[in-house]
């Protein structure tokens, strides 16, 4: 029987899978890897960020259904499977002081209890590799931080038969990564490449505001060549029409510049149960050529 590698990407909201690691997933799908996106919430409290759709009464009143339909389109474009974990979007609190989070939302759940559906999904899908967010959530949205927390619990617990009884046969994932696509080296490289070509860069003010104490210290360990799939990534992202303006900042860097200057999607290896050498160019490094996977 031919062995098949399996990748699970854990995300907070519909659209996160298309803005973080989407080209990587499309690349692996093209190579025959089984890829599953676990979406923690339905994005019910997400704002309508596309100015062309703002004020649309139907969308405002049916945002949950609309975002589910957008997710269905994006997963078809990427060629991935996808499951909802069933939690309710916490929203992004704004103001000073910040208002309390809504009762019953994802970020207010007990972490051990909230990890259960993810453990169940890991035991069912049996991924060799899991991707998620770092302890800052990639950015400090409460749902992203909670996604990190349940991912870490589930990674450790899924293979332990004593934990989460009744959620399936234990399965031990071999590696866990943090998405680090929005990293400073990439941003600087694209910024400088745009200026060198006489083009306007959208990153100038961003780099000036960069919280170096927060992000500069991240260790990029894994650079997955995926430039060929950047157009697929963008198509999937545009499918999330309520969240993405096709003429907005996401698309200001010409595709050929992205593909030439920074042709990878980048990760931080956080946990590994197999030996590997850093830097890596493959999330399955240490697994792919080893008979120790099922």
CA angle at 134 for the pair 113 and 78, rounded to the nearest 5°: 90
Binding-site sequence positions for Zn(2+): 13, 16, 144
Q: What are phi and psi of 170, to 5 degrees?
A: -55, 145
Question: Of 131, 115, 159, 141, nearest to 270 (Cα)?
Answer: 131
Residue 276 phi, psi dihedral angles, 5° rounding = -150, 165
Helix 63-78 vs helix 230-239: crossing angle, to nearest 10: 160
**Closest alpha carbon to 87 in 67, 70, 104, 68:** 104
Helices in the chain by DSSP H: which ranges?
A: 16-19, 22-30, 57-61, 63-78, 111-114, 116-125, 142-157, 184-196, 204-209, 212-215, 230-239, 255-261
Q: Establish how many alpha carbons lie within 13 A of residue 270's alpha carbon, considering only the half-sphere containing its beta carbon.
A: 21
If one counts every other C-beta atom within 10 angstroms of the C-beta of residue 282, the result is 17
Find the helix packing angle between 22-30 and 63-78, rounded to 10°: 40
Cα 117 to Cα 150: distance, rounded to the nearest angstrom: 10
The Cα 233–Cα 212 span in angstroms is 28
Binding residues: 13, 16, 144
């Amino acid at each position: 029987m031919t062995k098949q590698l399996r990748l699970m990407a854990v995300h907070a909201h519909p659209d996160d899978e298309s803005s973080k690691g989407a080209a990587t997933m499309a690349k692996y799908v093209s190579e025959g890897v089984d890829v599953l996106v676990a979406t923690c919430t339905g994005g019910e409290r997400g704002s309508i960020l596309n100015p062309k759709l703002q004020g649309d009464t139907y969308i405002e009143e049916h945002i949950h259904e609309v975002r589910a339909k957008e997710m269905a389109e994006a997963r078809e474009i990427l060629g991935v499977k996808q499951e909802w974990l069933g939690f309710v979007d916490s929203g992004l609190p704004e103001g000073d002081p910040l208002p309390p989070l809504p009762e019953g939302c994802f970020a207010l759940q007990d972490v051990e209890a909230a990890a259960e559906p993810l453990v169940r999904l890991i035991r069912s899908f049996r991924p060799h590799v899991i991707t998620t967010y770092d302890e800052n959530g990639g950015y400090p949205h409460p749902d992203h931080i909670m996604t990190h927390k349940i991912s870490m619990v589930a990674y450790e617990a899924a293979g332990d038969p004593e934990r989460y009884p009744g959620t399936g046969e234990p399965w031990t994932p071999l590696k866990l990564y943090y998405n680090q696509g929005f990293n400073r080296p990439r941003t600087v490289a694209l910024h400088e490449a745009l200026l060198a070509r006489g083009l306007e860069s959208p990153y100038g003010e961003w780099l000036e505001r960069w919280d170096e104490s927060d992000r500069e210290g991240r260790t990029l360990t894994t650079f997955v060549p995926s430039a060929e799939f950047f157009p697929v990534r963008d198509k999937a992202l545009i499918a999330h029409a309520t969240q993405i303006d096709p003429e907005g900042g996401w698309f200001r860097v010409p595709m050929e510049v992205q593909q030439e200057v920074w042709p990878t999607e980048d990760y931080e290896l956080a946990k590994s149960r197999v030996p590997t050498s850093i830097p890596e160019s493959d999330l399955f490094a240490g697994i792919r050529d080893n008979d120790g996977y099922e």
